[in-house]
Amino acid sequence: MNNYKKRFPENFLWGGAVAANQCEGAFDVDGKGYSVIDILSFGDNSKKLKTMSSQDVENALQDKEGYFPRRDGIDFYHHYKEDIAMFADLGFKVFRFSIAWTRIFPNGDELQPNEKGLQFYEDVIDECLKYGIVPLITISHFEMPLNLVTEYGGWLNRKLITFYTRYCKVLFERFGHKVKYWLTFNELNLITLSGYMLGGILSDKVDNMIEAQYQAAHHQFVASSLATKIARETNDNILIGAMLGRDEYYPLTCKPEDVMQSIQDSRFELFFSDVQVRGYYPSYSKRYFEEHNIHIKKELGDDEIIRSYTVDFLSFSYYSTSVSAYDREGMETTDGNGVITVKNPHLKASKWGWQIDPIGLRIALNNLYDRYQIPLFVVENGIGMLEEIPDDKYIQDDGRIQYFREHIKQMGEAVKDGVELMGYTPWGCIDLVSSGTSEMEKRYGFIYVDKDNYGNGTLQRYPKKSYYWYKKVIASNGEKLD
Ligand code: BG6
């Protein structure tokens, strides 16, 4: 039996996280192709994330007037050395970033990769390694090639498995000896909320959208398992993680109907990690599929692939918790990460309505570990805040410090509870474009980036008060939280 752990392990991976589509910019530089997200314009974002038609794609490609924030990001593409130097100064042990599929295979279906794209990521990886920062790479974070949507129908098409695994093979062969930690897809479970962004499914191409989303997810499960197989064959040092967007679902009351509802809501997310960690479709999914007229087309051998190549660890994002009620009629609701939930009267919320619940993180960690018994990694957590830069350029973001202090305390409690926790990478460690709203002014960073919602600004980077606070947290391995 392991000793009872009283603090974070010595090799705990403290760091931060970003994604290519929200920070790199340079959307048409060095051969990069259009990704699904490059065509979402400011103001239009939330609606289009949920549903996008062929006509919407056509309109966006013709639009010469609109502002498309992801195309510019914070120009990490040209600032990565400066940014990684700041992460090194912060003491990062790990940096989570994603590779834009469209830099490596601009249209997704080429046979040969784009060398300029590979070289860019080689440079980013080497820059991290120079400072002793371990890269944690997401292979696909909301940015599949647009061509795979318009020409192939997105992940509904089985051919995508071939394209994706070809892309993975190139990455593992090129970087596998330098990069140990990989995540195959970001928040696979969000495909049920955004068939377009995660699955490349256009609304006018399908009759039963829910069925299409689960069919696309099935192809992603097979692709993820095959990627795991390729990784193991390429370099046995590589570890592959699944990535789940996690809310905990509290029953509104102790009424059995509410409790059952919280189990159902929870399964709606956990279905995805159940498949990727345990290696098979959970029995509860069969009833759900039948009741929603969902028929998944599997090929012979798919189940065996999913069973044979399960993930090594489970990573997840955690921002808030939700409340489940059997009958939501007349209830006050609020926003969360992709969800609309009944409001919890015991919690405060961010300006965007996301409920702040540090103890929920301890609950999530315990529940996931109880369920799977494999190492966990918190790869996103944080709070979006509106911030104005004062004359002295020093943002005193005490609210963010308070948020992280409480969440890190609860993570520490989970470690004492016996949860095997690999690391912690707060989201948007440097301000970047919001995924849900495309705003620049929904800021998460320890580092302020001078840019507004409309693309104006110098792109100058400034450390906030939380930067110096987090630096002390990392230096003390999570002990000094004051
Ligand atoms: C996660 C995503 O769901 O939430 C990130 O992986 C995203 O890409 C983050 O940025 C926060 O959401 P938002 O909408 O505030 O940017």
pLDDT tens digits along 326-347 = 999 999 999 998 889 999 999 9
Band of the pLDDT at 1, cuts 50, 70, 90? low
> How far is 52 from 452, CA to CA, in rounded Å?
26
Q: Above pLDDT 70, what percent of the chain?
A: 98
> How far is 59 from 376, CA to CA, in rounded Å?
42
Domain boundaries, the chain: 13-475
pLDDT in tens, 107-148: 999 999 999 999 999 999 999 999 999 999 999 999 999 999
Read off the DSSP letter of residue 110.
-
Tell whether ligand 1 has an atom less than 6 A from the beta carbon of residue 194: no
Residue whose structure tokens are 């004359």: 391
Average pLDDT score over residue span 67-93: 97
Closest residue (by CA) to atom 2 of ligand 1?
Answer: 435
pLDDT at 236 over 80: yes
Centre of ligand 1 to C-alpha 470, Å, is 21
Tell whether ligand 1 has an atom less than 6 A from the beta carbon of residue 245: yes
Band of the pLDDT at 5, cuts 50, 70, 90? confident
pLDDT at 44 over 90: no
List the one residue out of 59, 155, 8 whose CA is nearest residue 479.
8
pLDDT at 432: 98
Judge contact between 305 and 299, C-beta under 8 A: no
The strand pairing partners of 242, in sequence order, are 314
> How far is 286 from 288, CA to CA, in rounded Å?
5
pLDDT at 350 over 70: yes
Active site residue 380: yes
Residue 323 φ/ψ, nearest 5 degrees: -120, 130
pLDDT in tens, 441-463: 999 999 999 999 999 999 999 99
List the one residue out of 113, 121, 91 whose CA is nearest residue 20.
121
DSSP assignment of 193-204: T-HHHHH---GG
Of 11-15, 22-26, 437-441, the poorest mean pLDDT is in: 437-441
Centre of ligand 1 to C-alpha 381, Å, is 9
Q: From 3.40.50.970, 3.20.20.80, 1.10.287.3510, 3.30.565.10, which CATH number describes the 13-475 domain?
A: 3.20.20.80
Band of the pLDDT at 6, cuts 50, 70, 90? confident
> How far is 319 from 383, CA to CA, in rounded Å?
7
Region at 317 (left for phi over 0; alpha for psi -120 to 50; beta for the rest):
beta
For the CA of 187, the closest atom of ligand 1 is 6
Q: What are the residues whose beta carbons fall under 8 Å from the beta carbon of 281, sequence distance 6 or more?
A: 274, 275
> How far is 258 from 309, CA to CA, in rounded Å?
36
